[in-house]
Structure 1
């Protein structure tokens, strides 16, 4: 593979650093003038389906009311058309970089032993906030690299504690015939910026049950420390629930009387409540942007079946059940309470929107797919700043959405089914056919025009800024942009 000389890469990186430094200077100036910068608490559930929470039609219907999360939704804005990438690694990459994961080689969940991780060349939301004077921390699941150099403390987080990969590896140590000599177990890790992360203990089933309680306690402690120090913070509480194996903390086991899933849901709601109570106790409610979301669609592996609500499909698919997720955002005095919208938004929009709110910037030396949704969220307009999205499953452009219209270029019924290229795309009107039923599909749709424009614009950008292949090692050296 062609590798250009390193000078352009260094210049590109220097430009990014200069931009971040400018953001830090602006933030310092704002602070000196008495402008208070908002804190950010991002709570991300793992494989929580659209229909699980009470406010989205679940809650008691799933065996456990979710009063704290439901109340959070009523205190800010709730989206019914929030879209994520359909897998854990891509969605986290997209949120933190503002870029479709296909651009950075993070378009799929890596198999054990496969080259993985977010290249250090990528600039994350944590990096921009850290460079602007924010204290930054991640607690819980990372899934964007599991070796030193590609862990959270290498990508802008001052501190972190959690798991580098995924929760199902907690099942390895107790499996018949398992030997750590054949497959090293996943470890809970922790680290600080400027230091190497280190192993804490093996992530087994006992630790799996304890993890969300631990990360909640640590997130609360972090917010307390930063509030006492008078420093704005970005706390990323990356929950491990309800990802399989879906089991509750032992203190919650049997609490609902409706099984592990309901007990887990009740525990999740309580953990979110603890973080929200801490913000109130610290007097930070009016100055903290709180976001609750899921990273992708429902957990659909028996016996841990999640629920996509009214939508067809599950994670790892392009159906609405794979990409449409619960999302709510609260910022008192800025985002009007009680608003609900079906306007289309994507996880890549989080970084540009938070950058606007905090007075920081996204990089300008690479394509940023996300758009700033500030005016929409603050009620200055009823319309989203975007009209459509592109949907990748692995490295396939599997579907596209534009307003209420959708085109599928592949057919894939579930995460285990092969993806079959369609000779003619399937068209759906999600208003009249929300289940994406092939028997009710549209046989012709003028909306393919705007969709093809989105695809064409993306493809044009890749000619100027080539996609980064999965497994590309650091340091990544980007080709000089083509005119």
Structure 2
């Protein structure tokens, strides 16, 4: 009897899996997340040669899959990465802003990451690059579902500490007395770690090590792909590259490659590294059974001389302007995602969590608020419309805007990350189809749209009563209040 029940249970699990055929192995998943790659950088998004470097490998990837023109992220690096890993708006997880050095930071271990979901389904999991979701070892990625990691805990601004008192042509000389002193603030490091083992400091994070980091990330990611393909083990390869985060400097092998300056050389490297990952999948014989996503975590850089290009959109990241929220997104999955498809339907980065969990045969947690919606039927072309019509846009802990269909309601005005955030006495409404730069307030003639838009904010607020947000810096162990 126990044998018969076990067989029935197995049959039921297979029938509910998206890959019920026993001959079809679970698909591999590769997520290439570029850092602050603006909407207007890639050739297929109107950049490429206009930015000084063609991007043929990424453009071809777009031709082989679906490209979104209304893929939305959160306003800062940490919030976007938190949303990707948990499927929850970062305001819920206490990860709604980039942490400052010395302050408590990161995801509580109570959160269930995408890596944890897929690991439970037999996936090998690896991350190479910036984590930015916990700078204490207890919260490193290898304690959050990943089998291996090579990268940095926080951000790349810190490469400039050790160069601030040097005249190197990249950063201004301010003198050693006024500059950074390792005795006061320790140097930051690139780490290597494996699940169940202590993390190891590999080398200091500085300008030289950042220049070669994407090369090292690619080498380790491609080795992981080859190793698991040979073993016949499904894998999640999460590859958060360092480019084009400031200081935007290319690998020495790419210096002068385009003749159009450091930014163009870095863009050429962006395309090359993506091509190396794609080549590794093909060489390993798993290209046809691998879902590949290429996206950015934020809009383009805002700081001179590394400003990014955001296409037709106005503003910078760290705001709720479209230049902050809209980012490139390309997805290829041979035999599942129709080639050459372009859509302006709204998708949010939180949606990747339930969508990729679906792909891997996992279920999202039911004991907490999960904001992401499964977009697999939309992305595979089974339906034309997204399963999402809008979302609330937070900048840090401020509800700054609401998007619904092609409308944008600005509650706080802030065009540039260096501008003050000014609450608006009367919100401003923009039609994003006729006013890409958010310059013409059409509130008075379109007040009919407000109930739906304010309803999005109301639903989120109501959910806070049932699932209170985690405070920023909350320690482990975290237990949600009843």
What range is the shorter-chain TM-score in? over 0.9
Q: State the match for 1:317 in structure 2.
A: 319
Report 1:361-380 matches (<5 A).
361-380=363-382
Q: Retained in 2: the 8 A contact 1:65–1:266?
A: yes
Q: What is the rounded CA distance, in whole Å, between the counterparts of 1:474 and 1:26 in structure 2?
A: 36
Work out the CA distance in 1 between the residues paired with 2:475 and 2:373.
Answer: 29
Residue 314 of structure 1 and its aligned partner are, at CA, apart by: 1.0
Q: Residue 141 in 1 paired to residue 130 in 2?
A: yes
Structure-2 residue corresponding to 1:208: 210
Matched with 2:329 is 327
Between the aligned partners of 1:107 and 1:277, the Cα distance in structure 2 is: 36
Displacement after TM superposition at 1:451 (Å): 1.1
Partners of 2:21 and 2:60 lie apart in 1 by: 35
Partner of 1:10: none
- What is the CA deviation profile of residues 417-471 of structure 1, one whole-angstrom value per residue up to 9, with x for unaligned ones? 111111110100101111001x454334311111111111111111011000000
Cα drift, residue 194 of structure 1: 1.4
In the alignment, which residue of structure 1 is the partner of 2:421? 419
Gaps of 5+ in 2: 1-9, 166-178
CA distance in 1, matches of 2:382, 2:214: 37
Q: Distance in 2 between matches of 1:60 and 1:38?
A: 34
Q: Does structure 1 residue 118 correspond to structure 2 residue 120?
A: no
2:88 pairs, out of 85, 99, 124, with 99
Match of 1:346 in 2: 348
Partner residue, 1:434:
436
Question: Post-superposition shift, 1:114?
Answer: 1.4
User: Which residue pairs with 1:384 in the alignment?
Assistant: 386
Measured in 1, the distance between the counterparts of 2:283 and 2:58 equals 18
- How much does 1:323 deviate? 0.7
SS in 2 for 1:149: helix
Equivalent position SS for 1:41: strand
1:218-297 to 2 correspondences below 5 Å: 218-297=220-299
Structure 2: how far apart are the matches of 1:410 and 1:61? 32
How many residue pairs were aligned?
A: 456
Name the SS of the counterpart of 2:243 in structure 1: strand
Comparing 120-129 and 439-448, the one that deviates more: 439-448
Q: Secondary structure at the match of 2:127?
A: strand
Correspondence for 1:307: 309
Name the residue aligned to 1:464: 466
- Aligned: 1:454 with 2:456: yes
Deviation for aligned residue 1:26: 6.5
The Cα shift of 1:115 comes to 1.2
Native 8 Å contact 2:218 2:277 kept in 1: yes
Residues 363-412 of structure 1: per-residue CA shift (max 9 Å, x gap): 11101100000111111111000110110000001000000011011111
**1:167 corresponds to which residue?**
156
Structure-1 separation of matches of 2:94 and 2:128 = 24
Using the alignment, how far apart are the partners of 2:372 and 2:51 within structure 1? Answer: 33
Shift of 1:184: 1.1
- Deviation, 1:196, is 2.2
Q: Under a length normalisation based on structure 2, what TM-score does the superposition of the two structures give?
A: 0.93
Q: Is the 8 A contact 2:301 2:307 kept in 1?
A: yes
Cα shift readout 1:236-285 (whole Å, capped 9, x = no counterpart): 11101000000000000001000000000001100100000111111111
Alignment RMSD: 1.6
Give the whole-Å Cα distance in 2 for the aligned partners of 1:331 and 1:310. 29
Structure 2 distance, partners of 1:131, 1:352, is 15
TM-fit CA distance, 1:140: 0.6
Is 2:23 aligned against 1:69? no
- Partner residue, 1:401: 403
Contact 2:302 2:416 in 1 (8 A): no
Q: Which residue of structure 1 aligns with residue 71 of structure 2?
A: 82
Give the alignment partner of residue 43 of structure 1, picking from 32, 40, 47.
32
**Aligned-pair distance for 1:295?**
0.1
Is the aligned partner of 1:193 residue 2:195?
yes
Instruction: Please point out which of 128, 139, 151 is paired with 2:140.
Output: 151
Partners of 2:385 and 2:229 lie apart in 1 by 35
Q: Give TM-score, length-normalised by structure 1.
A: 0.92
Maintained 8 Å contact 2:258/2:265: yes
Q: Does the Cα contact within 8 Å between 1:31 and 1:37 map onto a contact in 2?
A: no
SS in 2 for 1:299: coil
Q: Distance in 1 between matches of 2:430 and 2:344?
A: 17
String of CA shifts for 1:48-103, please: whole Å, max 9, x gaps. 00000000000000000000001001100000000000100000000110000000
List, as ranges, runs of 4+ consecutive aligned residues in structure 1 with deviation greater than 4 Å.
29-32
* Corresponding residue SS for 1:447: helix
1:11 aligns with none
